[in-house]
Amino acid sequence: MNFSIQPILENDKVILFPLLKDDFDALYAVASDPKVWEQHPNKDRWQKDIFQSFFDGAMQSKGAFKIVDIQTGEVAGSTRFYDYNEKDNSILIGYTFYGTKFWGKGMNPSVKKLMMEYIFQYVDKVYFNIGALNVRSQIAISRLGAVKIVEEDIAYYGEAPKRNFVYEIKKEDWEMAMDAAD
């Protein structure tokens, strides 16, 4: 891999900073709301010890970000790049969550577009693992042009496997969609 999966990324809505160990308290303050996880396969991540495992996995991925609202400076959530596959020339984007106060404000599409604009300089495909019952995220990723390609059981870091849908966006499809949007 000859590129960084943890650069600082910024647009008019958010700044994505590489996640640091010192970010735990600020991120847990967002993640401690059970409503954040209600559609997620791992609904108990709001509990501090379980979130600690999630955070440890984020740090070990070396591709995790703290999402900061550019207007308020508040920590809004987290996301990450992970599992770069050189043979497939692909990477995953996921483990994304936002505080409820940021829902419905266009933050998720802004973050995903920012990440894809960056990473499609280096890969041909981006995949997303989304919980089978997480309808909100399935709709959101479909709106960005991702296509469901398979269902599989996925074990998140330190957690039991759960049924997920795998979505894909190919670089050429992304570029055509962005050209059409301009």
Question: Going from the N-terminus, what domains does the chain have, and what CATH number goes with each?
Answer: 9-181 (3.40.630.30)
Question: What pLDDT was estimated at residue 179?
Answer: 76
Phi/psi-derived region of residue 53, left when phi > 0, alpha when psi is between -120 and 50, beta in every other case:
alpha
Q: How would residue 182 be classed by pLDDT, with cut points 50, 70 and 90?
A: low
Share of residues in the chain with pLDDT > 90 (%):
74
Average pLDDT of the chain? 92
Q: How would residue 28 be classed by pLDDT, with cut points 50, 70 and 90?
A: very high
Residue pLDDT, tens place only, 135-148? 888 998 998 889 99
Q: Going by C-beta distance under 8 Å and a sequence separation of 6 or more, which residues neighbour residue 105?
A: none
Tokens at 83, concatenated: 């599992």
Question: What pLDDT was estimated at residue 42?
Answer: 81
Q: How would residue 178 be classed by pLDDT, with cut points 50, 70 and 90?
A: confident
Q: Going by C-beta distance under 8 Å and a sequence separation of 6 or more, which residues neighbour residue 161?
A: 153, 154, 155
How many Cβ atoms sit within 10 Å of the Cβ of residue 70?
14
Q: Going by C-beta distance under 8 Å and a sequence separation of 6 or more, which residues neighbour residue 148?
A: 138, 142, 165, 166, 167
Residue pLDDT, tens place only, 69-112? 999 999 999 999 999 999 999 999 999 999 999 998 999 999 99
